[in-house]
């Protein structure tokens, strides 16, 4: 009998495992995908190695790359970006770690309060979450992003729109800002040279501006794993979890099992969670282990799938419902000057429009940039528009970039300025995860089905997205773009939330205010699916990590008789010398 079994070692699961292990609990952390223990060996800068949809090391699939990826039914044309493996999708993310919009919590009283999705607020106040944000921001750590060329240009464009700069971590008004990123700031030679001999740790420390966030960060070369620049949980929380018996008084190292796909949560006659069953990928062995508490952190798709496949109760029908994805769009400007689009961190700048959403300046390597430019729901410009509503707002094209449009835009990828649109979208029951009746089950049971009704979103959601698109086009035109392309994307799910949401009302939520399942005692959820809403548009990872930290405290207090620690103790940073010594085995 273990104290806690956490299912999923991604952005949320790694956090809750580390926090509880530091309290001395016996924690097992299961991960379906690969281990990723040595980023310098496991990863490369090549897109073909990382991002190949069939065999890339960043996919939702098994560690053995000769085997196909795991199946999901997508009921519509959708790109759903989720990775398996220790670190989960944080291995692929750009480290953006903004706080949520305060307007999505119950204690928000400002004049624009009604601009938010008032029916689906968090079941507690923003002020309650602040200490947990601070704890995570210190642990990762989160730092103010430095500028590359694209950020410098983007900020100039934002100023031309008349926007002020935000100088707090909170969202207080419509404003632009350097991102708060879970990426170590550049020191030494980092960011100042492309000479590989001068980029070895410790001569280079922090972000080297290599431009390969999407292929996984293993820079600077030679750095201990906990000192890699981008703070994916695989290099921050996981090394801490595995060594907390060395640097945390009373801590107990987490038992991490990769290649372990959870297939069932077992309950007793009173519907109390008792054990987890999983399948070992390489051997096919089926194992079951009991625990006092079970935490699901498998993702917004796999957590409801596991719930359904376990036959757990769903009396109000909200398991899997309410998927929010920020109704993403993308606007690309072709600029008459260098933008450094492929250089530096993926995203170092953003504009918040509280109650509406967010714009981010983003850069990618050319293969991903071209693919994203050709991924649209609005047909082919000049030929057909697919009947999709949405204005051009002065953009030259709306739709899929192919043929000479794509060739011309891609002729110099470092003259593109790409702005991604993240909408404050409403929680809607119609957007959901269920089990597929069309696809055969795989070795882990019935496969999930993702259903997103792109063309019948709420009026507020649609209006918010159109406003943000208009602002992005204005910004690019103001900077002198010679061409502006609106892609008008189908569901491009790089942020997903709420499919097992916590909420004020038991009628439309699965979790109570402590992230414990309403109908299954001792079962908690700690991934993005637990979020009550789309947090207003900002990237969700930091908020999920803050919430997971809060949930760890709730578990420790309720089931292990412990005391809370956030606000009472000083957090230890994942780059603390004591952690480094432990990681190095000293």
Partner 1 sequence: MLLLSAAMALARATDLLTSRGWIQAAEVVTPDLLHDTFNGLLAFIVPGPDDYSVAQGVSTVEPGGVDEGVTDILIATLDETTPFLPQFSATVAGILNGIALVVNPSPGGTFLSPFACLSFAEKAAVFQIMDGTDSLKPLAGVLPAFVAFFCYSEAAVFDPVTRSLTGHPIAWDISSYQGVSDGRNEFVGYFENRRDVR
Between residue 310 and residue 349, which ones bind partner 1 under the rule CB under 8 A?
A: 340, 342-344
- Closer of 286 and 384 to partner 1 (Cβ): 384
Minimum gap (Å) between residue 403 Cβ and partner 1: 6
Q: Which residues contact 379 (CB under 8 A, 6 or more apart)?
A: 385, 386, 388, 399, 400
Question: Does position 467 bind partner 1 by CB under 8 A?
Answer: no
Q: Which pair of tokens denotes residue 174?
A: 């419509």
Contacting residue, 94, 365, 533, 545, with partner 1 by CB under 8 A: 365
Nearest residue (CB) to partner 1, 211 versus 537 = 211
Site size for partner 1 (CB under 8 A):
97
Least distance between partner 1 and beta carbon 581 (Å): 26
Q: CA-CA-CA-CA torsion for 152, 156, 158, 161, nearest 10 degrees?
A: -170
When binding is defined by CB under 8 A, the residue of 161, 368, 572, 578 that contacts partner 1 is: 368
* In the complex, minimum distance from the CB of residue 80 to partner 1, in angstroms, rounded to a whole number: 6
Complex with partner 1: residue 329 or 516, whichever CB lies closer = 329
Handedness of CA 82, 357, 390, 153 (dihedral sign): negative
49 is an interface residue for partner 1 by CB under 8 A: yes
Nearest residue to 472 via CA among 565, 358, 556:
358
Report if residue 186 touches partner 1, rule: CB under 8 A: yes
Q: Could you tell me if residue 379 is left (phi over 0), alpha (psi between -120 and 50 degrees) or otherwise beta?
A: left
Count of residues for the chain? 586
Q: Scanning residues 396 to 455, which ones bind partner 1 (CB under 8 A)?
A: 400, 402-404, 406-407, 410-415, 438-439
The Cα 298–Cα 11 span in angstroms is 10
Residue with tokens 């959870």: 262
Collapsing DSSP to helix, strand or coil, 185 comes out as coil
Positions 206 through 235 that interact with partner 1 (CB under 8 A): 208-212, 219-221
∠ CA 15-17-20, nearest 5°, is 105
390 binds partner 1 (CB under 8 A): no
Identify the H or E element spanning 177. Answer: strand 175-178
Chain-centre distance for alpha carbon 92: 9
Residue 125 sits in the site that holds partner 1 (CB under 8 A)? no
> Which residues touch 352 (CB under 8 Å, ≥6 apart)?
98, 101, 166, 171, 173, 174, 175, 176, 177, 358, 537, 538
Q: How far is the CB of 24 from partner 1 (least distance, A)?
A: 33
Q: Which of residues 513-572 bind partner 1 (CB under 8 A)?
A: none
- Between CA 560 and CA 551 the distance in angstroms is 13
Q: Alpha-carbon distance 109 to 112, whole Å? A: 8
Shortest CB 386 distance to partner 1, Å: 5
- Answer for which of 26, 128, 152, 245 binds partner 1 (CB under 8 A) is 152
The correct pick among 136, 297, 370, 582 for binding partner 1 (CB under 8 A) is 370
Residue 54 binds partner 1, judged by CB under 8 A: yes
Our finding on whether 386 is near partner 1 (CB under 8 A) is: yes
**Which of these, 76, 116, 88, lies nearest to 13 by C-alpha position?**
88
Stretch that binds partner 1, among 42-50, 86-94, 258-266, 546-554 (CB under 8 A): 42-50
Q: Which is nearer to partner 1, 400 or 497 (CB)?
A: 400
Comparing CB distances to partner 1, the nearer of 373 and 533 is 373
- Considering the complex, what minimum distance in angstroms separates the CB of residue 163 from partner 1? 13
Minimum Å gap between C-beta 511 and partner 1 is 27
User: Encoding tokens for residue 36?
Assistant: 């990723």
Task: Among 17, 20, 183, 190, indicate the residue that binds partner 1 (CB under 8 A).
Answer: 190
Give me the least distance between CB of 73 and partner 1, in Å please: 6
User: 543: closest CA among 505, 570, 515?
Assistant: 515
Q: In this structure, what are the phi and psi dihedrals at residue 332, rounded to the nearest 5 degrees?
A: -120, 130
Name which of 215, 285, 260 is nearest 13 in CA terms.
260
Smallest distance from the beta carbon of 449 to partner 1, in angstroms?
10
Chain residues 470-499 in contact with partner 1, contact rule CB under 8 A: 490
Give Cα 427 distance to the centre of its chain. Answer: 18
Q: Which is nearer to partner 1, 43 or 116 (CB)?
A: 43
Nearer to partner 1, 65 or 252 (CB): 65
Among 54-62, 87-95, 478-486, 556-564, which window interacts with partner 1 (CB under 8 A)?
54-62
C-alpha 211/C-alpha 159 separation (Å) is 25
Neighbours of 127 (CB within 10 A): 11
Out of 19, 117, 151, 392, which residue is the one contacting partner 1 (CB under 8 A)? 151
- Which window, 40-48, 122-130, 274-282, 427-435, contacts partner 1 (CB under 8 A)? 40-48
Q: Does 80 bind partner 1 (CB under 8 A)?
A: yes
Round to the nearest angstrom and report the end-to-end CA distance of the chain.
31
Interface with partner 1 by CB under 8 A: which range of 97-105, 112-120, 178-186, 303-311?
178-186
Contact call for residue 367 and partner 1 (CB under 8 A): yes
- Token couple for 196: 């590989």
Residue 492 DSSP label: E
Query: Does residue 130 interact with partner 1 by CB under 8 A?
Result: no
**Complex with partner 1: residue 195 or 507, whichever CB lies closer:** 195
| Nearer CB in complex with partner 1: 436/533 | 436
Residue list 227-286, contact with partner 1 (CB under 8 A): none
Distances, alpha carbon 143 to alpha carbons 199, 348, 430, 559, in Å: 21, 11, 38, 35
């Amino acid at each position: 009998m273990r104290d806690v079994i956490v299912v999923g070692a991604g952005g949320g699961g790694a956090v809750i495992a580390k926090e509880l292990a530091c309290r001395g609990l016996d924690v097992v952390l299961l991960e379906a995908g690969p281990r990723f223990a040595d980023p310098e060996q496991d990863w490369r800068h090549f897109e073909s190695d990382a991002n190949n949809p069939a065999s890339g090391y960043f996919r939702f699939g098994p560690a053995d790359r000769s085997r196909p990826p795991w199946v999901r039914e997508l009921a519509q044309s959708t790109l759903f970006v989720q990775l398996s493996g220790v670190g989960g999708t944080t291995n692929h993310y750009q480290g953006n770690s903004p706080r949520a919009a305060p307007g999505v919590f119950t204690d928000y009283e400002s004049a624009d309060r009604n601009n938010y999705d008032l029916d689906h607020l968090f079941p507690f106040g923003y002020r309650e979450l602040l200490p947990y944000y601070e704890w995570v921001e210190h642990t990762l750590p989160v730092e103010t992003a430095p500028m590359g060329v694209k950020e410098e240009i983007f900020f100039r464009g934002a100023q031309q729109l008349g926007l002020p700069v935000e100088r707090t971590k909170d969202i207080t008004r419509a404003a632009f800002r350097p991102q708060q990123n879970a990426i170590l700031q550049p020191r030494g030679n980092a960011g100042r040279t492309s000479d590989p001999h001068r980029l070895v740790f410790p001569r280079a420390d922090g972000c080297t501006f290599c431009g390969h966030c999407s292929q996984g960060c293993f820079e600077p070369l030679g750095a201990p794993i906990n000192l890699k620049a981008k703070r994916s949980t695989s290099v921050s929380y996981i090394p801490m979890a595995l060594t907390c018996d060395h640097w945390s008084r009373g801590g107990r190292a987490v038992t991490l099992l990769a290649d372990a796909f959870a297939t069932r949560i077992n309950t007793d006659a009173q519907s109390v969670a008792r054990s987890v069953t999983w399948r070992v990928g390489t051997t096919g062995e089926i194992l079951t282990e009991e625990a006092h508490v079970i935490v699901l952190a498998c993702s917004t798709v796999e957590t409801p799938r596991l719930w359904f496949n376990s036959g757990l109760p769903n009396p109000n029908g909200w398991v899997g419902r309410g998927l929010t994805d920020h109704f993403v769009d993308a606007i690309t400007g072709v600029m008459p000057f260098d933008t450094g689009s492929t250089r530096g961190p993926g995203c170092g700048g953003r504009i918040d429009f509280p109650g509406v959403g967010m714009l981010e300046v983003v850069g990618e390597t050319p293969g991903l940039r071209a693919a994203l430019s050709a991924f649209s729901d609005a047909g082919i410009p000049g030929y057909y528009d697919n009947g999709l509503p949405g204005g051009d707002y002065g953009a030259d094209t709306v739709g899929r970039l192919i043929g000479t449009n794509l060739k011309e835009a891609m002729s110099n990828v470092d003259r593109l300025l790409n702005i991604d649109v993240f909408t404050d979208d409403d929680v809607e029951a119609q957007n959901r995860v269920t089990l597929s009746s069309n696809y055969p089950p795989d070795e882990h049971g019935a496969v999930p089905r993702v259903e997103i009704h792109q063309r019948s979103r709420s009026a507020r959601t649609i209006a918010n997205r159109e406003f943000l698109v208009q602002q992005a086009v204005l910004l690019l035109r103001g900077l002198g773009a010679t061409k502006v392309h609106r892609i008008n994307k189908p569901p491009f799910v790089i942020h997903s939330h709420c499919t097992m949401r916590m909420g004020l009302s038991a009628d439309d939520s699965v979790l109570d205010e402590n992230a414990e399942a309403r109908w299954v005692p001792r079962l908690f959820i700690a991934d993005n699916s637990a979020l009550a809403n789309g947090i207003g548009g900002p990237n969700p990872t930091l908020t999920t990590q803050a919430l997971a930290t809060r949930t760890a405290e709730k578990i420790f207090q309720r089931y292990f008789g412990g005391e809370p620690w956030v606000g009472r103790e000083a957090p230890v940073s994942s780059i603390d010398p004591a952690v480094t010594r432990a990681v190095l085995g000293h």
